[in-house]
Structure 1
Amino acid sequence: MGNEYPKYVTEKAINSLKTKINFQQSETSYSQDWEYEVSDSSRIKEFMYLYENIELNKDEQFALMTVIVSSYNDALEEGKIDEEIQEKILFFLFNESDIHRNIILEWAMLDEEDLSNCYVIAPIMRELAKHLYG
């Protein structure tokens, strides 16, 4: 099953999400870093609500969760810790790890020993990766 994990956000998933989620006009063009360009720490609750309540296929779930994790990383950088949202994010990452394995590993940055060179969210993701993958 290891090769079945989504590896990256696809253009098809982006285009589909754009019809389901209201992104700013400047955020509607496909680009390699689209999921990071549309991340928004002020919209995490909205993104999480949509993740929980709209019908999404596996690739759309992967794409939207990437936006959510990126947005929460931005919030942590801004000093905005929201334990409730963090718990929801971790719940879905854990329970849908068959979809989100590559998100968890990317943000955990396990190959980097110096945490000062990592994403702010890396310690949280490392703990999750340790729990899931040993």
Structure 2
Amino acid sequence: MLKKLSLPEPGPFTQDWEYEVADDTRINEFLSFYESSSLNEEEKFALMIIIIGSINDAIEKTDVDESLLRKAKELLLKDIVIHTNTILYWSLENQDLEDCFAITPFIRCVKEMI
């Protein structure tokens, strides 16, 4: 997955690699790759974190195309067993939205569907 997406290898002391390689200019590419590639559960888990981080960055900067959000929601729900913890993390349940991630309202909507 790393080579096909031209993502840097995590270093020996890297933490939160998925968040470091998030790129709001590549959301569509990441979503397409997730959907069209044969990925194992670990790869799907990591790539979805990259996607969510990328969307979060994009929301912080500007509006995000609704089609990208729909696709992300579809993939999250399709592989809900893999992504439940990711959804719970980004939803920040019981937190005021002012203290949350930019993507939290979207993730909370997804969470309501599970």
| Both proteins in one fold, TM over 0.5 | yes
Residue 91 of structure 2 corresponds to residue 108 of structure 1:
yes
| Pair member with larger Rg | 1
Q: Distance in 2 between matches of 1:21 and 1:131?
A: 30
- Name 1:128's counterpart in structure 2: 110
- Name 1:39's counterpart in structure 2: 22
Q: Distance in 1 between matches of 2:16 and 2:37?
A: 23
The structure that is helix-richer by fraction is 1
Query: Per-residue CA shift, 1:87-119, capped at 9, x if unaligned?
Result: 00000111211111011111111131x111100
Q: Distance in 2 between matches of 1:38 and 1:19?
A: 13
- Name 2:4's counterpart in structure 1: 20
- Name 1:95's counterpart in structure 2: 78
TM-score scaled by length of structure 1: 0.79
The 1:57–1:86 alpha-carbon spacing in structure 2 relative to 1, beyond 3 Å, is same
Residue 101 of structure 2 corresponds to residue 119 of structure 1:
yes
Q: Distance in 1 between matches of 2:23 and 2:94?
A: 27
- Name 2:59's counterpart in structure 1: 76
CA contact (8 A) 2:59 2:103 kept: yes
Stretches (4+) displaced over 4 A: none
Q: Which runs of 5+ in 2 are unaligned?
A: none
Secondary structure in 1 aligned to 2:101? coil
**Identical-residue share of aligned pairs (%):** 39
Q: Which runs of 5+ in 1 are unaligned?
A: 1-16
Partner amino acid, structure 1, of 2:2:
K
* Two-structure CA RMSD over aligned residues (Å): 1.2
Q: Distance in 1 between matches of 2:42 and 2:69?
A: 22
Q: Distance in 2 between matches of 1:33 and 1:59?
A: 14
Offset of residue 20 of structure 1: 2.9
Residue 77 of structure 2 corresponds to residue 86 of structure 1:
no
Paired residues, number? 112
Offset of residue 28 of structure 1: 2.4
Correspondence list, 1:38-77, <5 A = 38-77=21-60
CA contact (8 A) 2:35 2:75 kept: no
